[in-house]
Structure 1
Amino acid sequence: MAQRKENVVMFPFMATGHIIPLIALALRIEQKTNYSITFVNTPLNILKFRSSIPPNSSIRLVELPFTSSDHGLPPNIENTDSTPYHLVIRLLEASNSLKPSFKKLIEDMIKEQHGHRPLCIIADIFFGWTTSLAKELNVFHGIFTVSSAYGLACYYSLWMNLPHRKVNSDEFSLPDFPEASRVHITQLATNILEADGTDAWSVFQKENLPEWANSGGILVNTVEQFDHIGLSYFRRKLGRPAWAVGSVLLSLDSQARAVKGGFGTGKEMKSKARQVMEMIKNATKDEEGFKGSSVEALDDFFSAAVSMRERTERGKNIAA
């Protein structure tokens, strides 16, 4: 009898900058494991990004029904690329309507596999509601972010605390992130700058962000050696693992160019860029006798998922 393949369900937010990195991670997982992968999104996004999946890939693409005009959006709006900025929040709010169909998808997968659950759900940072759904269905859950841990930590702290509303200065500290640099109001995105706790963005984030603590942990598109401060923040704040699984998507040359964009002499920047490229290569290296930190982090994530599966199965056997 053939051994059943474990299934990984991946669900990014409807934005190109969220979808493409998760596709890249899906391809890496497919290459390095024997897991099957189910990649979920709305119909127009599946159509748009189908060509990003190599012809020889076995990744399964699944559409969830979505009609933008039902949510006060123009017709055929399913991606932030085609959404006017002032309507992005409405697309975020509308994404909550995907919950029933996503739940049904997971339930149907479990039925098709005769009670065998997916190994895990990897969902977007904007889909906090998937944590409670995963818990209800006894499926391990991980949040995925394409941004650095440090940048996301600042974002999380800003939305959770709105510190700029509590000071009379243009510069302020993040109350739960003392390791971070002070923030100037000119650095804030418009939606955060104008947030007062009752606006639509604040209401959405008040529901979304606390759900992260109910996940099994957070997968971050970064390298441990670069981003320890941000990773430590989430490990402390959420009480959950933060796995540095990067670098996903960006080429080594792109990241080296980003480093060169900093301050210093040309010679210093070239030296720093070489160091960065070497660290990224080492972090993502997976060969006989050596695994980089990012490879080990992804292994740790799946080990946590397998451990939950085993605990769930033991619980069933005891109950029986």
Structure 2
Amino acid sequence: MGSVSNSPYNNPSEPPQRRHVVLFPFMSKGHTIPLLHLCRLLLARNLDVTVFTTPANRPFIDQFLCSTTASVVDIPFPQNIHPEIPAGVESTDKLSSVTERLFNPFALATKHMQDDFEKALSSLPRVSFMVSDSFLWWTLDSATKFGFPRLAFYGFNNYAGCVSRAAAVDHLLQGVESDNELITLPRFPWIKVTKQDFDSSFTNPSPEGSEFFMTMIVAVMNSFGLVTNSFYELEPAFVDYWNTECGPKSWNVGPLCQLKAKPEHRHPKPVWIEWLDKKKIEGSRVLYVAFGTQAVISSEQVQEIAKALEKSELNFLWVIRKKESFSTWWDSEFEERVKGRGMVVSEWVDQTEILNHESVDGFLSHCGWNSAMEAICAGVPILAWAMMAEQPLNARMVAEEIKVGLRVETCDGSVRGFVKAEGLEKMVKKLMEEEEGEVVRKTVKEFSEAARRAVEEGGSSWQTLQSLIDEACSKEM
């Protein structure tokens, strides 16, 4: 590793340099994309930006930032970290399942990247500050060693952070016999949650998972702050609570998806965009259906989704990870029966482009926070179907707190229960055709306008980012 004593950080006689920011996203598309949006924003403020990644993840980042002046540095990802994680797997999107059993060794293995990371840092121009994913806890040690502040990126909102902290600090989930018993939060008495609203890694972590979680939290608490992909007007009570009662400070600089470059005109257009264009000409409203890149859905559940969409007689665009995963029943007959009003896509799509298409008027979603924010920005109401991680809390926020969507109905009424075709058909119709859907549609359009104002010059997120830059750069040692 290069000697730190020979780096520019310890040379006070060097001339002043441009502000330079390091971004280090976690190896997962949902964690990476928001920080790449942030990269573009920092570049627009005349900062130099270096993004760290791994060789297998670099092509995606290079493509995303191809029209920018950002620098990209890749460092090796550890190999042989788990018998079920093949060599070359450098993103959670490529894991066979995102469970504690595989996620923990994957996340813990990133610690072995620290020497290469610091060697690369030693050859960079002076760093003003760093934003790294909260899962990369060890980057705080590197930032401290090199004398610049580290901010942690959390992929979720203030609501989820405040509710999780309140449940943990007040020990509300201990001694609860039923996973589905509603529990009132004394700090937020209008909110009721269940144990199933929290991932098992939070309520009943393995020893390895508990160690990782506590190490990550300690690093976050000792960081300069949190970069949060939200905006003040969306959740003011929770931003204020976090910044007065918790910490470190949450800097709400989003929605980051509002800041992406305008898509280039592509020739030819993707077939799904051409299909949506036809629906626009017809005056048809389309339900967009997508559950992210990591949710694992059983063949039985996918079959119920297909039945519901077919029986609903609604227009729909369904993005599914791999149709071949459901080959026991999936064939051309379903697509033939819904031909004309339904389209199934099993490849990567530009979700923001779809949500902003004029024909799309509803979103059946797993309620990952990136997807929720994209829908809010597009003014598209959400039918929330939480699958994993903090998504049940996002679903509560969407349906109960900010009221920009509805929730699916499970067979047993639980958060994570099975959803039958009949119940799903009822809810998609409610979202797309009934008064309840119109109410949430009106609300989400109001928040969409607030989101647009937040990122404009002088808006709350615009000002917050400028304050973050100024304060973080003033802390440079």
Quote how far apart the aligned CAs of 1:147 are.
1.7
- 1:1-320 → structure 2 map (5 Å cutoff): 4-31=17-44, 33-54=45-66, 56-72=67-83, 73-83=85-95, 84-86=97-99, 87-109=102-124, 113=125, 117-155=126-164, 163-168=172-177, 170-172=181-183, 178=188, 181-195=191-205, 199-249=207-257, 251=352, 253=356, 254-255=375-376, 256-257=379-380, 258=382, 260-262=404-406, 265-286=436-457, 291-309=458-476, 312=477
Q: Is the 8 A contact 1:9 1:40 kept in 2?
A: yes
1:99–1:3 distance in 2 versus 1, CA, 3 Å? closer
Post-superposition Cα deviations, 1:240-277, rounded to whole Å, max 9, x if no partner, equal 32111010126584212236523863443332122111
Q: Which amino acid aligns with 2:65?
A: I
Which ranges of structure 1 fall in alignment gaps of 5 or more residues? 313-320
Higher helix share: 1
In structure 2, relative to structure 1, the CA distance for the partners of 1:159 and 1:105 (3 Å cut) is farther
Given the superposition, is the C-alpha separation of residues 64 and 174 from structure 1 closer, same or farther in structure 2, using an over 3 Å criterion? Answer: farther
* Separation (CA, whole Å) in 2 of partners of 1:5 and 1:266: 50
Q: Matched residues in 2 for 1:149 and 1:217: separation? A: 13
| Cα distance change on mapping 1:105 and 1:158 into 2, 3 Å | farther
Matching residue's letter, 2:453: N
The DSSP-based 3-state class of the residue aligned with 1:121 is strand
Q: 1:3 to 1:96 in 2, by over 3 A?
A: closer
Q: Distance in 2 between matches of 1:162 and 1:92?
A: 27
Letter in 2 for 1:269: V
How many Å apart are 1:179 and its aligned residue?
Answer: 5.9
Change (3 A) 1:276 1:178: closer
- 2:227 counterpart letter in structure 1: L
Aligned-residue offset at 1:220: 0.5
Q: Superposition RMSD on alpha carbons, in Å?
A: 2.6
**Is the contact made by 1:160 and 1:206 (CA closer than 8 Å) also made in structure 2?**
no
Q: CA offsets per residue over residues 149-195 of structure 1, 9 Å max, x none?
A: 112333455677774234445444568x5467232122232333432
> Equivalents in 2 of 1:105, 1:179: separation in Å?
49
Shift of 1:294: 0.4
What is the CA–CA distance in structure 2 between the aligned matches of 1:164 and 1:3, rounded to whole Å? 52
Instruction: Output one character per residue of 1:62-119: Cα deviation in whole Å (capped at 9) or x when no partner.
Output: 111113324543211111111122311211111122222222222222xxx4xxx301
Runs of 4+ in 1 over 6 A off after TM superposition: 159-162
Task: Confirm or deny: 8 A CA contact 1:10 1:122 kept in the other structure.
Answer: yes
Q: Between the two proteins, what is the percent identity of the paired residues?
A: 22
Is the contact made by 2:128 and 2:472 (CA closer than 8 Å) also made in structure 1? yes
Instruction: Say which one has the larger Rg.
Output: 2
Q: CA deviation at 1:49?
A: 2.9
What SS does the aligned partner of 1:92 have? helix
Q: Residue 44 of structure 1: SS of its match in structure 2?
A: coil
Counterparts of 2:443 and 2:163, CA distance in 1: 25
| CA shift in 2, pair 1:67/1:97, >3 Å | closer
Residue 92 to residue 282, structure 1, CA distance change in 2 (3 Å): same
The size of the alignment, in residue pairs, is 294
Q: Is the 8 A contact 2:78 2:112 kept in 1?
A: no
Q: Distance in 1 between matches of 2:161 and 2:464?
A: 18
* Larger deviation, residues 252-261 vs 83-92: 252-261
Contact kept, 8 Å, 1:156 with 1:209, in 2: the verdict is no
Shift of the alpha carbon at 1:135? 2.2
| Structure 2 segments unaligned to the other structure (5+ residues) | 1-14, 259-351, 357-374, 383-402, 408-434
Partner letter of residue 192 of structure 1?
F
Please report the TM-score for the alignment, with normalisation by the length of structure 1. Answer: 0.82
Secondary structure, in 3 states, of the residue corresponding to 2:191?
coil
- The one-letter amino acid of 1:307's match is S
Which deviates more, 180-189 or 120-129? 180-189
Q: Distance in 1 between matches of 2:189 and 2:466?
A: 29
Letter in 2 for 1:82: K
Cα gap change, 1:29 to 1:278, in 2 (>3 Å): same
Q: Given that residues 251 and 464 in structure 2 are in contact (C-alpha distance below 8 angstroms), is that contact kept between their aligned partners in structure 1?
A: yes
**Structure 2 CA distance, aligned partners of 1:162 and 1:12?**
32
Match for residue 316 of structure 1? none
